[in-house]
Amino acid sequence: MALMSMLVDTSICIGCKGCEVACKQWNELPAEIKGFSGVSYDNTLALSDKTWCHVGFVEQGQTPSADFRWLFVSDRCKHCAQAGCLEVCPTGAIYRTETGAVNINPAVCNGCQNCVSACPFGVVSLNHDTGVANKCTLCSDRTEIMGREPACVTACPTDALVWGDRDEMIALAEQKQTRLHSNGVRASLYGKDELGGLNVMFVLQDEPGVYGLPSNPQLPQRNVPAGYVFTAAGAVLLGLAAAVTFRNRPSQPETVEVKEG
Ligand code: SF4
Ligand code: SF4
């Protein structure tokens, strides 16, 4: 099977959150209204174990003013070619599918949360009810078993989300960039090369940081060995404490036979 990718064109996203709702419907995820933040009209605010697709609202400039503009970005797991989550998973629960999606097998996940800290995009969350890590699956069940596109792509009314062969998505993104540049819009493609190539790429109208995307995402493995050292040191200390406790434990009283009669 070919490597498949999603292209997110922020220049034609209207922030309707249809993709967010479609994701919840297809994956049977509960609603999660976090309330009015006071800084944005966005009421879901972030990705979580129950929100695998989140439409971020970026409000630039003062209202009312001619400079004010809304920027919207439909965000999810990027299904990275170099996936930090996959590399640090100690049980092999995180795997790559034949079209390039990075998924989590809930039966094998032990809830250690190494993947949560290894993801440079803050995508993975632990579901505290099930004890299993959760995130977008790129609708592998639809795309690889049913031959359909991801639910969010189907729901998008403006075609801001497009699904297809990765090379075709890059060519489409470059066409979009050329058109936007000819209209005086500062457009860039994010995800073509980052972390070996993301399988969710973005046409952006501003710097990645404006949309909450790191400009130079890195594999965080260098932090993980330190975590293992602390874990190992903790295990050794616990072992020593247990040994001392057993050694100092008072000996069992002798049993006394009670004779009947
Ligand atoms: S975005 Fe994060 S969770 Fe998704 S594949 Fe990359 S490292 Fe893993
Ligand atoms: S459905 Fe399309 S237009 Fe609506 S928020 Fe999602 S990406 Fe934007």
Q: Which residue range forms the structural domain that includes residue 241? A: 221-248
Q: Is 191 among the domain residues?
A: yes
pLDDT tens-place string over residues 103-159:
999 999 999 999 999 999 999 999 999 999 999 999 999 999 999 999 999 999 999
For residue 256, tell me if it sits in a domain.
no
Tell me, in angstroms, the distance from the centre of ligand 1 to residue 63's CA. 36
Structure tokens at 90: 């100690």
Same domain, 177 and 239: no
What are the pLDDT digits (tens) for 159-215? 999 999 999 999 999 999 999 999 999 999 999 999 999 999 999 999 999 999 999
Q: What is the chain's mean pLDDT, rounded? A: 90
Q: What is the pTM of this model?
A: 0.84
For residue 253, being part of any structural domain is answered with no
Atom of ligand 1 nearest to the CA of 122: 2
Q: What's the number of domains the chain is made of? A: 2
Question: In this structure, what token pair is assigned to residue 139?
Answer: 């609708």
pLDDT at 132: 98
State in Å: Cα 104 to ligand 1 middle: 11
Whichever domain contains 61, its CATH number is: 3.30.70.20
User: Looking at the domain assignment, is residue 259 inside a domain?
Assistant: no
**Sheet strands (E) in 51-199:** 54-60, 69-75, 94-96, 102-104, 125-127, 132-134, 161-165, 188-190
* Residue 31 within any structural domain of the chain: yes
100 Cα to the center of ligand 1, angstroms: 12
Whether 203 and 135 map to the same domain: the answer is yes
In this structure, the answer to whether residues 87 and 180 fall within a common structural domain is yes
139 and 233 in a single domain? The answer is no
> With bands split at pLDDT 50, 70 and 90, how would you rate the model's confidence at 29?
very high
One domain for residues 145 and 234 = no
